[in-house]
Structure 1
Amino acid sequence: MALDALRRGLGEDRVLADAKTREYYANDIFWQPGIPPLAVALPQTAAEAAAAVRLATEQGFSVVPRGGGMSYTKGYLPERADSVVIDLRKLDRVVEVNADDLYVTVEAGCTWEKLNAALADTGLRTGYWGPLSGVNATVGGALSQNSAFFGSALSGTVADSVLGVTVVLADGTLVTTGSGGRTGAKPFTREGGPDLTGLFLGDNGAFGVKVAATLRLWPRPAEAGYLSFGFGSMQAMAAAQVEMARTRLVAEGFGIDRTKAEHSASVNRISDGLKALGAVASSGKSLLEGVKSAAGVAAAGANFLKAHAYTLHIVTEATDEAQLRKGLATLSAIGRRHGVEIQNSVPMVMRAKPFGPVRGMLGLNGERWVPIHAVFPLGEAQRVVDANERFFAEQRPIMERHGIVYSVMSMTVGAEFFLEPAFYWRDEITPLHAASVGHEVVKPWLDRPANEEARAAVAQLRRATQDLYVSLGGVSWQVARDYPFASVLKPETLALLQALKRAVDPNDLMNPGSLGLRRGGAAG
């Protein structure tokens, strides 16, 4: 049989090819149904991952890497029926924490929750330290898609924290980039010659399967403070975000509209503030102060968010209390110039329990959810917000016709303005949603029928939004097979990328179609 070599090389229990498993791996958060893979390989070491890739490509099978399954951009969905999905979640070790040289090496299947737990007693942290979905999302997945949230306002995306990666090439060769790829050198720097690390970041496995990464560590700030503000318009909130970003005082922050506050289960878990009492209390500078803060969280719930058209939630960090007070005063003055200061329970609770259940991948009443995003220069924020509002005002009839609810979130990531509209609609609950969110949670909605018409309308809206953002000069990170990429590159840039792809993957077997790259050099 076609998979015999793979089974002999990895073992029967490491290669799954039953119909139920194959169907499960044919879906992501949004795109369904896809093409089931031929099989799913579950390596437990880097050597086994290399063997899986080599054995698959020797048979002419294409290889598709998969991490925590939190993607919505077809990144881990096969394009061909003869695909082997390499599920890397069993490669989850924290290999080395080097406190003296300030780096950590971790296997690609390690979740952000596990990595942060391993660093908890060291007083150290990576600059970017995970997405909200960090209980499931893996380090390798974040590197393949790029990612931002915790720590990102100051430290940028996950790519900015990477010193080097170890990847499996199409022929099964294991290659390490950065100084870790030198003979006799530690993986302490990304520099020293061409930046090969960057080739494998944001590539969705088109150039190689990541099995490990080394990230820079920094001392964890001693103090954290929290601020929230309400605004009457998206323009006012964006102005505050941009002004705050230029101070370099924000560790992470995000703005949401009233609709997001009403429909997001992640935001509304703040109403459950009493359950977070212990965590919030322990995060205060004293137990008494923490308990008072937690009581305020429980009393406020999330309803206060709905009094404002838009709300912004900020975390700032400092080395001591004096520096923290100064930073809070600066940020508070900016926020009050554009809006009003409000209860700060949202950022407080999210920091107290950063990696909660991934309940936000469904709406409050089980609605399906999918976002779309782009980043822009800070100075373009107002122009982009204006264009975005005009666009979605024009799309209102199609959304009303299909029962699609629109919401929007914004952040600053380093020197970039990040805009993320999202859509909620009623549709069937897939096995992926049930496994991710929890079967007990989705039980009331399991009999909800498929709504292919509304889902197609959402896909149409997403594509139109992507085209809008490209026309505004925006850039999207999680390219996969979803966002425009190869089609919008300058010809010379695309030609270089295609040449690199042919060099490392001459038979187009590494996640084919990802990044819009096609066999023969054509852009998709």
Structure 2
Amino acid sequence: MSMADHIRADDLMALDALQRALGDDRVLADAKTRDYYANDIFWQPGIPPLAVVMAQTGEEVAEAVRVAAEHGLSVVPRGGGMSYTKGYLPDRADSVVIDTRKLNRIVEVNADDRYITVEAGCTWESVNAALEGTGLRTGYWGPLSGVNATVGGALSQNSAFFGSALNGTVAEAVLGVTVALPDGRLATTGSGGRKGTKPFTREGGPDLTGLFLGDNGAFGVKVSATLRLWPRPAETGFLSFGFQSLNAMAAAQVEMARTRLVAEGFGIDRTKAQHSASVNRISDGLKALGAVATSGKSLLEGVKAAAGVAVAGANFLKAHNYTLHIVTEGADADALRRGMATLSAIGRAHGTEIENSVPKVMRAKPFGPVRGMLGLNGERWVPIHAVFPLGDAQRVVDANEAFFAERQPFMERHGIVYSVMSMTVGNEFFLEPAFYWTDEITPLHAASVGAEIVKPWMNRPANPETRNAVAELRRATQELYAGLGGVSWQIARDYPFAEILKPETWSLLQDVKRALDPRGLMNPGSLGLKGTQVR
């Protein structure tokens, strides 16, 4: 094995110890692999890790953490690789990335007691597949990137989409987790951490589970999780609306959220309708046609719905400045009919009801390829977000509109295209601008989207000047939202955090970090918690 000249002798000793403990097939240290793991969707190039551990059991994760700590190496957990906030990027060369994707077993589906236990590397697609035929589903049941995104990654960074308008984020679905702590102990939270007790509840003492949700791996490496199950609603309906303004769409979303009739929904502007490959996949011809046809309750119903989708395509979205797409569910046909009537009346009070093919297609194939991480013509893409109280939606929208209007010349000068998406997540208003620009296609994009899809754009040169302008714009947006009282997930090493917490709250978090990880070796820099290098 050959290593780069900058790798020190004691690092090689640590690498040898990892390989002896876990086996050469579990510990990868070739230059190509190390370079690949130095990038996320937005930030590159970063610092290559010393090695990547492809653990296949929780015990192997714990052993990797123990050996790394013994040699003073930092540990960086990684899930499906969908982060754009430096969540799994090492901040130093003597780091070990633990890739959890091979921890992908469904441990237990307990339909009687209404929970499912899965390893952290399970994708959301595989979780939902494991529940087929049970009549049950988790409340939040995955992001759009669920074909790649893992349960552990969602728990570390928080996540919302399918089921979230009604049931909140993934954190609301968790009953307990098993975590490899910084010293190599495997600890289980919730009732599963008791002797002889099933993992059926999160309560019963301090909520230790919450400590490891949204922590970006700063407190340990999640190896498994237990999620609460609910009955899957019998009926599903779809609605879409067009609006003249973001204010009108936000008003409709807030009013709908207060009815608790929306399962999931999202609003987009015309720019996203034009640039988003995820939206434009609706006009993908036979793929969309077949997916919708098989989703109908009867063959005839499915064929009729598919024909409507094929004819409408995605072009109708561009006739409106903003469009809102809603999925609603009911226990029976009457409940669904009443719910749809209520939501339709709200939507029509603020806008115009339109063809509902977008939510139909997304529900027909919820976990499609992650094509949306690049624009329609291969443009690079990165979002920014925050959540706000429902009652603040109009104030936030006004501030957001003024902010980006002022920065329009800056974006035009650098060739940055701005779009915006909004959702409601439980009792929260979610706003997510996104930026598109021309830049290099990285190996991470190629592996995630598909080599054939990115082939026409692989020779594009790097564009660090525009990428830096996007980073500047994102930071200003983060500060705007924090100043408006917003809260952001996926903090990692990207969003402001320490500087916006009350001093007493920040000191409490530091105390927890010191208690669990006194040498600061667990994903140092995440959440702004700086580790001290110890050799």
TM-score normalised according to structure 1 size: 0.99
Q: Aligned with 1:12: secondary structure? A: coil
Computed over aligned residues only, the root mean square deviation of the Cα atoms, in angstroms, reads 0.7
Q: Does 1:309 align with 2:308?
A: no
The whole-number CA distance in structure 1 between the counterparts of 2:65 and 2:376 is 40
| Structure 1: 4+ residue segments shifted above 4 A | none
Aligned position for 1:22:
34
Q: Does 1:443 align with 2:455?
A: yes
1:154 to partner: Cα distance: 0.2
Residue of structure 1 aligned with 2:441, choices 396, 407, 429:
429
1:80 to partner: Cα distance: 1.0
1:198 to partner: Cα distance: 0.3
Superposition pairs of residues 59-208 of structure 1, within 5 angstroms: 59-208=71-220
Residue identity matched to 2:322:
Y
The whole-number CA distance in structure 1 between the counterparts of 2:238 and 2:129 is 22
1:387 to partner: Cα distance: 0.1
Aligned position for 1:45:
57
Give the conservation status (yes or no) of the 8 Å contact 1:105–1:215. Answer: yes
Residue identity matched to 1:122:
T
Superposition pairs of residues 196-275 of structure 1, within 5 angstroms: 196-275=208-287
Residue identity matched to 1:462:
R
Q: Does 1:383 align with 2:395?
A: yes
The whole-number CA distance in structure 1 between the counterparts of 2:99 and 2:40 is 14
Aligned position for 1:318:
330
Residue by residue over 1:226-251, the C-alpha shift from the partner in whole angstroms, topping out at 9 and shown as x without a partner, is 00000000000000000000000000
Give the conservation status (yes or no) of the 8 Å contact 1:65–1:209. Answer: yes
Residue identity matched to 1:10:
L
1:273 to partner: Cα distance: 4.4
Residue by residue over 1:293-352, the C-alpha shift from the partner in whole angstroms, topping out at 9 and shown as x without a partner, is 110000000000000000000000011100000000000000000000000000000000
Q: Does 1:469 align with 2:486?
A: no
Residue of structure 2 aligned with 1:499, choices 511, 517, 524:
511
Aligned position for 2:7:
none
Aligned position for 1:287:
299
The whole-number CA distance in structure 2 between the counterparts of 1:430 and 1:283 is 35
1:59 to partner: Cα distance: 0.5
Residue of structure 1 aligned with 2:362, choices 314, 339, 350:
350
1:44 to partner: Cα distance: 0.4
Q: Aligned with 1:13: secondary structure? A: coil
Q: Aligned with 1:313: secondary structure? A: strand
Residue by residue over 1:96-123, the C-alpha shift from the partner in whole angstroms, topping out at 9 and shown as x without a partner, is 0000000000000000001101111111
Structure 2 unmatched runs, 5+? 1-11
1:285 to partner: Cα distance: 2.9
Give the conservation status (yes or no) of the 8 Å contact 1:116–1:125. Answer: yes
Give the conservation status (yes or no) of the 8 Å contact 1:223–1:324. Answer: yes
Aligned position for 2:67:
55
1:279 to partner: Cα distance: 2.7
Deviates more, 1:267-276 or 1:488-497: 267-276
The whole-number CA distance in structure 1 between the counterparts of 2:112 and 2:486 is 39
The whole-number CA distance in structure 1 between the counterparts of 2:283 and 2:240 is 16
1:260 to partner: Cα distance: 0.2
Aligned position for 1:415:
427
Residue identity matched to 2:119:
E
Give the conservation status (yes or no) of the 8 Å contact 1:261–1:267. Answer: yes
Give the conservation status (yes or no) of the 8 Å contact 1:273–1:349. Answer: no
Residue identity matched to 2:89:
L
Q: Aligned with 1:332: secondary structure? A: helix
TM-score normalised according to structure 2 size: 0.97
1:519 to partner: Cα distance: 3.8
Give the conservation status (yes or no) of the 8 Å contact 1:154–1:252. Answer: yes
The whole-number CA distance in structure 2 between the counterparts of 1:367 and 1:135 is 21
Instruction: Give the paired residue count.
Output: 520
Give the conservation status (yes or no) of the 8 Å contact 2:271–2:419. Answer: yes
Identity %: 83
Q: Aligned with 2:420: secondary structure? A: strand
Give the conservation status (yes or no) of the 8 Å contact 2:75–2:522. Answer: yes
Q: Does 1:338 align with 2:350?
A: yes
Give the conservation status (yes or no) of the 8 Å contact 2:380–2:436. Answer: yes
Q: Does 1:300 align with 2:306?
A: no
Deviates more, 1:1-10 or 1:182-191: 1-10
Q: Aligned with 2:25: secondary structure? A: helix
Q: Aligned with 2:323: secondary structure? A: strand
Give the conservation status (yes or no) of the 8 Å contact 1:273–1:294. Answer: no
Give the conservation status (yes or no) of the 8 Å contact 2:521–2:531. Answer: no
Q: Does 1:397 align with 2:399?
A: no
Structure 1 unmatched runs, 5+? none
